[in-house]
Structure 1
Amino acid sequence: MSTAPRSATRRRVTKETEIEISIDLDATAGGVVQVDTKLPFFDHMVSQLGRHGGFDLTVRATGDIEIDSHHTVEDTGILLGEAFAEALGDKAGVRRFASNRVPLDEALIDVALDLSGRPYLHYEIDPPGQKILGDPPFDPQLAEEFWRAFITSAGITLHLELVRGRNTHHIIEASFKGVARSLRDAVKVEVEGGVVPSTKGTL
Structure 2
Amino acid sequence: MQEITRNTKETQISASLELYGKGEGKITTGIGFFDHMLEAFTKHSLMDLHLKCTGDRHVDGHHSVEDCGIVIGKLLRETIYPIKSIERFGNGAVVMDEACVECDMDICNRAFLVFDMSCHADFKGRVGDFDVELTEEFFRAVAMNAGLCVHIHLKRGKNLHHIIEATFKSFALALRRALTPNERIAIPSTKGAL
Question: TM-score when scaled to structure 2?
Answer: 0.95
- Give 2:8's aligned residue: 14
Alignment of 1:1-203 (within 5 A): 7-27=1-21, 30-126=22-118, 127=120, 128=122, 129-133=124-128, 137-191=129-183, 195-203=186-194
Within 2, Cα distance between the matches of 1:20 and 1:202?
Answer: 31
In structure 2, what is the Cα distance between the partners aligned to 1:88 and 1:188?
12
| Cα distance between partner residues in 1 of 2:4 and 2:117 | 30
Deviations 1:107-163 (A, max 9, x none): 001110000100000000255423112xxx211100000000000000000000110
Structure 1: 5+ residue runs without aligned partners? Answer: 1-6
- Structure 1 stretches (4+) deviating beyond 4 angstroms? none
**2-side partners of 1:130 and 1:69: how far apart?**
13
Structure 2, unmatched stretches of 5+, are: none
Could you say what secondary structure the match of 1:112 adopts? strand
- CA distance in 2: counterparts of 1:96 and 1:62, whole angstroms: 33
Equivalent pair of 2:110/2:149 in contact (CA under 8 Å)? yes
Q: How many angstroms apart in 2 are the aligned matches of 1:21 and 1:104?
A: 29
In the alignment, the residues of structure 2 paired with residue 82 and residue 138 of structure 1 have an alpha-carbon distance, to the nearest angstrom, of: 23
TM-score, with normalisation over the residues of structure 1? 0.91
Identity among equivalent pairs (%):
38
3-state SS of the aligned residue for 2:127? coil
Amino acid at match of 1:187: L
Q: Which secondary structure does the structure 2 equivalent of 1:150 belong to?
A: helix
Report the secondary structure of 1:153's partner residue: helix
> CA shift at 1:89, angstroms?
3.1
Question: Which residue in 2 is equivalent to 1:4?
Answer: none
Amino acid aligned to 1:66: H
